[in-house]
Amino acid sequence: MLTTKDLTKQIGGLCAVNGVDLFLGDNEIVGLVGPNGAGKTTLLNMISGISVPTRGKITFFGEDITGLKAHQICKKGIAKTFQIAESFPGLTAQECTMIGALFGNPQKISMGEARSEAARILDFVSFPQDKQDTIIKNLNVVELKKVQLARALASKPKLLLLDELTTGLNPKESNEAVELIKKIRDNGVSIMIIEHVMSVIMGVSNRIVVLDHGEKIAEGHPYEVVNNQKVIDTYLGDIYAF
């Protein structure tokens, strides 16, 4: 589905991502982990079109999408959520989700269809039905994250990029998020997820990719990766700490 080759991003004198090769298959969840500043978000930003690579190539279903704008990549089937969940603070939860259906979806739909689709997806992510008409700025963190996820899903992605979806959630909410991520995958959407909570990554990932100082230092099955001495030394520390 997705491949990157020698993907590199230079920001001033800093090489935020350096020569990263990776792939992601159909109906697969790949966890992306590493220390703060490792280049994880920058990598997702390049894949989603938010940031243009300095060097390298991104291929999606055999098509070179390197350097395309974010809205073009979204319509090709790649959607992304963000670390900071609040967006369009003056819109309601339903209106915010409708934006994904109206402008991210490659198919043109009516306002009525977008409203129905927004209601369906908000229900899918377990957003409270009685808050669908609530202004975004009046929602709590969990509700904001659900709206952001619903907006991404409304664009009908084939690949979903999740940037710290469970940050700020308590253990029960995190477990519910894990089940929702699996449910999204089971509906035919591949997922790449950045997460610092290793119990979440271990619970959802088919494979894990580890970045450090912009470079890929490990990749493989979750239990192979967490037992990799280089990963322990650079990121995990005590392997049993999580």
Q: What is the CATH number of the domain that holds 229?
A: 3.40.50.300
Q: List the domain range (segments joined by +) for residue 133.
A: 88-155
Shared domain for 70 and 92, answered yes or no, is: no
Shared domain for 13 and 111, answered yes or no, is: no
pLDDT at site 241: 42
DSSP-assigned letter for residue 135 = B
Give the C-alpha separation, 225 to 212, whole Å.
Answer: 14
> Does residue 33 carry a pLDDT above 70?
yes
pLDDT average, residue stretch 53-82: 95
Shared domain for 122 and 5, answered yes or no, is: no
What is the pTM for the complete model shown?
Answer: 0.93
Is 97 a domain residue? yes
Residues in contact with 95: Cβ distance below 8 Å, sequence separation at least 6, in sequence order: 88, 118
Is 82 a domain residue? no
DSSP-assigned letter for residue 110 = -
Shared domain for 223 and 174, answered yes or no, is: yes
Give the C-alpha separation, 145 to 96, whole Å.
Answer: 12
pLDDT at site 209: 96
Boundary (domain end) residue, out of 100, 126, 155: 155
The SS3 call for residue 46 is: helix
pLDDT at site 213: 92
Give the DSSP per-residue string, 66-108.
TT--HHHHHHHTEEE--SS----TTSBHHHHHHHIIIIISSS-
For residue range 94-122, list pLDDT tens digits in order. Answer: 999 999 999 887 788 899 999 999 999 99
Shared domain for 170 and 216, answered yes or no, is: yes
For residue range 180-230, list pLDDT tens digits in order. Answer: 999 999 999 999 999 888 888 988 999 999 999 999 999 999 999 988 888
Shared domain for 144 and 190, answered yes or no, is: no
Q: Are 10 and 16 in contact (CB under 8 A)?
A: yes
Is 208 a domain residue? yes
For residue range 68-91, list pLDDT tens digits in order. Answer: 999 999 999 999 998 877 678 899
Q: What percent of the chain has pLDDT over 90?
A: 74
Shared domain for 147 and 163, answered yes or no, is: no
Nearest to 231 by CA among 191, 201, 193: 201
Is 38 a domain residue? yes
Q: Which helix (H) or strand (E) holds 174?
A: helix 171-186
Shared domain for 208 and 165, answered yes or no, is: yes
Is 83 a domain residue? no
Shared domain for 70 and 171, answered yes or no, is: yes
Give the C-alpha separation, 95 to 173, whole Å.
Answer: 24
> Does residue 171 carry a pLDDT above 60?
yes
Give the C-alpha separation, 191 to 27, whole Å.
Answer: 8
Give the C-alpha separation, 101 to 24, whole Å.
Answer: 25
Shared domain for 64 and 120, answered yes or no, is: no
Higher pLDDT, 30 or 36: 30
Shared domain for 20 and 50, answered yes or no, is: yes
pLDDT band at 240 (very low <50, low <70, confident <90, very high): very low
Q: Which tokens belong to 64?
A: 């070179």
Instruction: Supply φ then ψ for residue 18, to 5 degrees.
Output: -130, 100
The SS3 call for residue 64 is: strand
Number of domains in the chain: 2
Boundary (domain end) residue, out of 100, 124, 155: 155
Boundary (domain end) residue, out of 105, 127, 155: 155
